Structure 1
């Protein structure tokens, strides 16, 4: 657990309290996303919500599958548009502006959802809030990757998985005690609690310094030096850090001397296409392991025949698994790196969903429902190792000048993938549609196995690499499986020595 200068990762965390707090702030977007992704599924289990937005069918209130699909899918499309807009917004106005815009839009979207009385009005609120989710989901990792020191960058980027699960846990904690209530407040309180997160963002935004990388990109070097000081770096460290940022930026500028600007087209050209491809794979990881399916677990289990009390218990246990998984993964990344953890997570996902699929082949057998429910909740364990390190890689492999746009493409792709699943999912598990039950496990088992093959050939190990070193390695077209042991000629403050065994050590 040592950095390139031999210092412990935990010492780096202790010595950079301001940066740690800023990384926590930037990950509020992941918490908002986790909270928002679960409240709809939980609301669908509330009698008052069904009576307000559903229709009476055979003596019971039911929300048609097409409205469920629209609420989920259109929200994801809005998130996709927000993520796409985040790239130009961040490059033109800065990272802090993206936080400001996302918080204001989210507050407005929640207000529309809170006051909605028809499915169409509810959809309008989901659209506005969805755009905000896409915007902040892109701004967060961009900011973290640019302010976090090398030794803690991976942990900070993977922190989004912890915050996503924490958001789910908070949503479940607010909703589950209100499941038996028959008044409108049962679900309105759940939606209103979402105002806390944009409120925190707006309250603390004046204390958040702008990214030094953005300021250097705008040739505001003096301002960048001041921001490095505000980040907690000492006067002796600031010149070295600023020179490294300037050098990385100038090197990329020279390599793109023939290119005009930093349009999205540049992300699909030459070496940057390989980097963009990796970011797309990493952002697809959550959907490959069934994130949309897991988020709909409460409603799925109710449709499968499990009681509401047992469904609530299973949901809280699953979210606790996800939080524990994220914390364990944060430690494991300092030891094992990113690539091996992603492969482990995908392998575990494939096994768990295979068992679920087998159980789904016996729908009339009572223990089979418990097997499906238990293994569905066990998949929360997969989220940490599969998604956390993948998000770290996504935040590290992009070039500095294209980071905002390439990460925007990644989040956009994730939302596009999620849109497809959110349209399909209600038709797969609703009792009045395909009613596949545990057989859905076979779908995600196949996706996990396929992605595992892609990871072997495409996802590099980025642990311990500076942005300048990664630039050099991608320019040299280093094969994926040789990233870990490659010796760079680049020197940024310290020199990298790679002994024969391929292990890294700081000098």
Structure 2
């Protein structure tokens, strides 16, 4: 059994086995951890489902007739309502993300799941029964708050229960479940597009009740995070939770002492601070960690998820039928699912940083091609190039976002993890809200009508992000939280993270990278 104050060599020996065991062995040894991580990712599935549900409903006759007004013999939903529904929902998600930190730190990680599930169920009820744009907006606000809360709660929980070898896969798994949620929404909506009555869109919203229902049904079986219980000075409960997570009884005392030691070392470094506040995330070493988290959560807007979601618009403008456009959309989402699975495996071999640099580089190249196509607006194949390449961008979503989510869940200190991730996801929601409002004005024919020229905007953002990542993004593959604490405290340069030999354990290997 490893003593918290043991010499450095003994501490390294206690972690050596963790570094040497392969991912697949650890996967087989921790079935309960895997199941609990899958449970936590229901939030990402909800977020993916909710991200497409409005755009799908806007294509349904019953929805437009219920919430629109008659203009020149045709029902039209005012543009300002569409912007409000998108923007206010993202702002509500921001507030939900920010509330996740205090809720989780005060009442536990499971409390975040409980509150989010109840709010989501209430929000969906409002959406289902709404008969006016204002009532529908109220439903979007409540459900948006819930999705922001559950997204943050899920990432915090996963980062604390997953073993070192599984942590990257488990955290990046949110991209997989986001795509699954989007695919489910599309699959439910497409067969109902021709239904003119309100039952067409109401079934779409009602299907969203499945996710909070599953969360509430399984919540009594879910173990609380041992890290939270140690922070609350409840080591006996933490030991029992380690057992519920499926850890071998002979390993439980060692794991508990490592958690206690990590917490105590962080507490000693912050002993002059008055508790773990949001302000601490922007001070000293923790500001570097928060900065990295912000970059990681900026990746999704930077690769243009708001632009990718509008691929059907360009395909329809190019002359593709609505049925084939729907099929292309499903194919694009399937690309995203395959990409996230491939990325999860590649991270176990190559690490996070090289994959992220590759994904962002590929995004920049694809958007450059779109930008070139946009320079020839009167060339008929140009719209086809833009639409098809936007669908291909789903392939980029895996390496361009997944590894970043893994790093974001790993780099924050244990004491500030819930708050740091809340800040990151809030920033993501804010960035996405801005693009959600701006995007229609960039491509609508009665506004800027940039078409494929929008590609130059995202190509430029991608190039800037590549430079930032090169200098700021560390490699965290195979590192324990204790090692990462030591490395940040020692102010290890970004590109020396991979080779650094910490006193808590050997550095993790992986694919070589050129930087």
TM-score when scaled to structure 2?
0.94
- Aligned to 1:464, the other structure's residue is in SS state coil
Shift of 1:498: 7.4
Moved more, 57-66 or 306-315: 57-66
Supply the distance in 1 between the matched residues of 2:321 and 2:465 (Cα, whole angstroms): 34
Secondary structure of the structure 1 residue equivalent to 2:272: coil
**Alpha-carbon offset, residue 6 of structure 1:** 2.4
Alignment of 1:50-65 (within 5 A): 50-65=64-79
Does residue 1:130 correspond to 2:140, yes or no? no
The answer on 1:401 being equivalent to 2:411 is no
Residue 7 of structure 2 corresponds to which residue in structure 1? none
- Alpha-carbon separation, structure 1, partners of 2:212 and 2:62: 26
Equivalent residue for 1:388?
A: 402
- Please, which moves more after superposition, 339-348 or 427-436? 427-436
Distance 2:456 2:121 in 1: 39
SS at match of 2:20: coil
C-alpha distance in 2 between matches for 1:498 and 1:50: 55
| Structure 1 position 496 matched with structure 2 position 506 | yes
Map 1:228-267 → 2, pairs under 5 A = 228-267=242-281
* In structure 2, C-alpha distance between the alignment counterparts of 1:137 and 1:70, rounded to whole Å: 22
Residues 1:428 and 1:3: Cα distance change in structure 2 (over 3 Å): farther
CA distance in 2, matches of 1:316, 1:467: 39
Residues 145-183 of structure 1: CA deviation (Å, up to 9, x unaligned): 000011111000000000000001001111111112211
Q: Is 1:112 aligned to 2:131, yes or no?
A: no
Contact kept, 8 Å, 1:4 with 1:496, in 2: the verdict is: no
Do the aligned partners of 1:73 and 1:422 also contact (CA within 8 Å) in 2? yes
Residue in 2 aligned with 1:469? Answer: 483
Q: 2:345 aligns with which of 324, 327, 331?
A: 331
Aligned-pair distance for 1:483?
0.4
Q: Distance in 2 between matches of 1:216 and 1:30?
A: 27
The runs of 5 or more residues in structure 2 that have no matched partner are: 1-15
Say yes or no: does 1:92 pair with 2:115: no
What's the counterpart of residue 167 of structure 1?
A: 181
State whether residues 318 and 384 of structure 2, in contact with CA within 8 Å, keep that contact through their aligned partners in structure 1.
Answer: no
How many residues of Structure 1 are paired with residues of Structure 2 in the alignment?
498
Q: Work out whether residues 298 and 312 of structure 1, in 8 Å CA contact, stay in contact via their aligned partners in 2.
A: yes
Q: RMSD over aligned Cα, in angstroms?
A: 1.8
Single out whichever of 140-149 and 430-439 deviates more from structure 2: 430-439
TM-score calculated relative to the size of structure 1: 0.95
The residue that corresponds to 2:10 in the other structure is none
Q: 1:200 aligns with which of 214, 238, 263?
A: 214
C-alpha displacement of 1:321: 0.4
By how many angstroms is 1:4 displaced?
4.3
Deviation of 1:362 after TM superposition, in Å, equals 2.5
1:363 aligns with 2:373: no
Match of 1:376 among 382, 387, 390: 390
From 80, 83, 87, the counterpart of 2:94: 80
Deviations 1:194-240 (A, max 9, x none): 00000000000000010000000000000000000000001101000
> 2:304 aligned with 1:290, yes or no?
yes
Deviation at 1:502, TM superposition (A): 8.6
Distance (whole Å) between structure 2 residues aligned to residue 400 and residue 21 of structure 1: 22
| CA deviation after TM superposition for structure 1 residue 10, in Å | 1.1
Residue pair 2:89, 2:140 contacting (<8 A) in 1 also? yes
In 1, Cα distance between equivalents of 2:467 and 2:85: 33
1:188 corresponds to 2:198: no
CA distance in 2, matches of 1:82, 1:497: 37
Deviation of 1:435 (Å): 2.5
- Post-superposition offset of 1:53: 1.5
Q: State the partner residue of 1:437.
A: 451
Deviation string, structure 1 residues 74-95 (Cα, Å, up to 9, x no partner): 0000000000010011000000
- CA gap 1:498/1:27 in 2 versus in 1, 3 angstroms: closer
Query: In structure 2, do the counterparts of structure 1 residues 55 and 362 end up closer, same or farther at CA, with 3 Å as the change threshold?
Result: farther
Q: Which residue of 1 aligns with 2:363?
A: 349
Instruction: Name which of 478, 491, 497 aligns with 1:483.
Output: 497
1:23 matches 2:37: yes
1:415 corresponds in structure 2 to 429
Aligned twin of 1:211: 225
Give 1:185 shift: 1.4
1:379 is paired with a residue whose SS is helix
Moved more, 98-107 or 292-301: 292-301
Report deviation, 1:363: 2.7
Q: Is the 8 A contact 1:78 1:131 kept in 2?
A: yes
Task: Indicate the larger mover: 144-153 or 7-16.
Answer: 7-16
